Structure 1
Amino acid sequence: MKRMILMLAAVLMTVALGACSNSASDEPEKKTVIYVGNDTIGDTLTKGHLTELGYEVTEMTDREITDEKAKNYSLVYINSSISSAGNIGTKLYNTPVPVIYSSPKVMSYNDVSGTQENTDYGKFIGKTITIKDSKHPMAAGLSGSVDVYKSDGSFQFVVPGGEVSVIATAPDDDKKALICAYDTGAKNMIGNAAPARRVFFYLSPEDIIYHTDEGWKLFDAAIHWAADAE
């Protein structure tokens, strides 16, 4: 009788542990992002939007961010408001964590584009983009010409090379990518494979207050795709 009671207790304990294990596995994975930028209004609005998307935001400066620190996060977002693109340089080049860049000069350090400012990367003024790949998840279901600013604002652009997916460009120049991406394993312009998804997004922090609903849809889609959460 005593042996039967012990066996029953063991079975009940196994069932209980299994239930706990299943309960833990059913819990949604925590979404975390390192935000690298500055203290402008645009930075504040961008961080707030990331929070609205369910991300726990950790702020770091361009000097503080390292490959080792990034490894424990779901995503890294690098804004063009950083104090120096050189402080980022090739950090994260081989880090298997998705990264979104809104700093085109940093892309040049990472073999995505050439190094000549205003030719290989830079910025221009406007309010409209042209969707080139409406079927890509980052197009957010949009197509053709889309106003992403309510009035003229700054666009960051990059002229990318390698196995890149170009989702949106400048309306008058197909070479100027405003939203583009490298999937995991896709090769950059010198043939090195991306260790995780890499995205370039046009948004300038100084003009984010003019961002339209369509612009935010594209932003959200870029975040979801980069983090493989679409």
Structure 2
Amino acid sequence: MNMNLSLRSRVTASRGSRGTLLRVASLLAALLALGGAGTAAAAAPREAGPGADAVTTGKNVLYVTRLNHRDREEDDKVVAHLEQRGMVVKLVDEDAPVSAAKGEDLVIISSVVSARDMVGTPFRDVPVPLLTWESDLFDSLRFTGQKKGEDFGEVVKEHYVNVVNAPSPLAGGVPAGKRWVYPRDDEIGWGKPGPGATIIATIAGEPTHAVVFAYEKGATMDYDFVAPARRVALFLGNRSFEKLSANGNALFDAAVNWAIREPGDERCK
């Protein structure tokens, strides 16, 4: 009888051990599953914000600035806006090689760069759409002629622009006429475009001073320079982006949309 009790005790213990092992295995499996889910969540790309759409989502942008400049924080706000619209943005310093544009969908040159250091920039020739609001680079990029104050320049105190081509997708739905883009006076860059330009807005009262203008791929820019890809010029200053009105934001987003689309896209017409 003692032998039977001993045997039953060993069997019960064995079954208890197997039960414990099964419970431990189940717990480990659950923990691994949770860990895997956490890893997958961490590896997943950040979701685009409500401003994302089929035009901008997943597009790669090379953003050229001065990484160590005090106004770089304004560029961070622009980058955050672009990312909210679903774009993947890579910040590079103004001395980055032009080869950095390879494989990108859009190159943006901020006004935070030093135009003096980028004179004759080879970004002029990249076969990638390019958007800039550095008016002192309009000449080097062949957006305009070379004489500052005559072919390009800045108005230090202004907050109105005159929309002259409202039907264009580059106007972003902003109605024709005098529209304020800042709540109070700030810097607005301008240029006198080449013959192939599409002019969207000008300085109020200065019809030859364009503040939003663009070139289609293959259009003639300054003199006989032919646009290697779409080119867009905007009016912003170093710290103007965060001050944009609803109309100013609409013009900015429309410029990005138009630049990043393929020429001939029916949505651009």
TM range (shorter): 0.7 to 0.9
- Amino acid across the alignment from 2:138: M
Determine the C-alpha separation between the residues in 1 that align with 2:60 and 2:220.
26
1:207 equivalent among 231, 240, 259 = 240
Q: How many Å apart are 1:192 and its aligned residue?
A: 2.2
Residue 194 in structure 1 maps to residue 227 in structure 2: yes
Determine the C-alpha separation between the residues in 2 that align with 1:85 and 1:51.
29
Report the TM-score when normalising by structure 1: 0.82
Distance 1:84 1:192, change over 3 A: closer
Q: How many Å apart are 1:29 and its aligned residue?
A: 7.3
Q: Deviations over 1:180-216 (max 9, x none)?
A: 0000110112222111100001111323232111111
2:179 equivalent among 123, 126, 146 = 146
Partner SS for 1:218? helix
Q: How many Å apart are 1:137 and its aligned residue?
A: 0.4
Rg: which structure is higher?
Answer: 2
Residue 78 in structure 1 maps to residue 109 in structure 2: yes
Q: Compare 166-175 and 115-124 and name the one that shifted more.
A: 115-124
Q: How many Å apart are 1:30 and its aligned residue?
A: 2.8
What's the counterpart of residue 31 of structure 1?
59
Residue 185 in structure 1 maps to residue 229 in structure 2: no
Determine the C-alpha separation between the residues in 2 that align with 1:60 and 1:222.
21
1:126 equivalent among 139, 158, 169 = 158
Residue 60 in structure 1 maps to residue 92 in structure 2: yes
1:96 equivalent among 115, 127, 133 = 127
Determine the C-alpha separation between the residues in 2 that align with 1:137 and 1:85.
33
Distance 1:136 1:218, change over 3 A: same
Distance 1:127 1:29, change over 3 A: closer
Determine the C-alpha separation between the residues in 1 that align with 2:229 and 2:138.
15
Q: Deviations over 1:102-156 (max 9, x none)?
A: 1112110133212222221111121110011111101011121111101111101
Amino-acid identity (%): 28
Give structure 2 stretches of 5+ with no counterpart: 1-55, 263-267
Q: How many Å apart are 1:51 and its aligned residue?
A: 1.1
Contact 1:130 1:170 in 2 (8 A): yes
Q: Compare 188-197 and 109-118 and name the one that shifted more.
A: 109-118
Partner SS for 1:30? coil
Determine the C-alpha separation between the residues in 1 that align with 2:222 and 2:250.
29
Distance 1:211 1:29, change over 3 A: closer
Q: How many Å apart are 1:85 and its aligned residue?
A: 4.3
- Amino acid across the alignment from 1:192: F
Report the TM-score when normalising by structure 2: 0.71
Give structure 1 stretches of 5+ with no counterpart: 1-27
Distance 1:201 1:133, change over 3 A: same
Residue 223 in structure 1 maps to residue 256 in structure 2: yes
Distance 1:169 1:65, change over 3 A: farther
Distance 1:88 1:43, change over 3 A: farther
Number of paired residues?
202
- Amino acid across the alignment from 2:226: A
Contact 2:181 2:247 in 1 (8 A): yes
RMSD: 1.8
Determine the C-alpha separation between the residues in 1 that align with 2:109 and 2:120.
12
What's the counterpart of residue 44 of structure 2?
none
What's the counterpart of residue 165 of structure 1?
198
Contact 2:124 2:142 in 1 (8 A): no
Determine the C-alpha separation between the residues in 1 that align with 2:214 and 2:78.
20
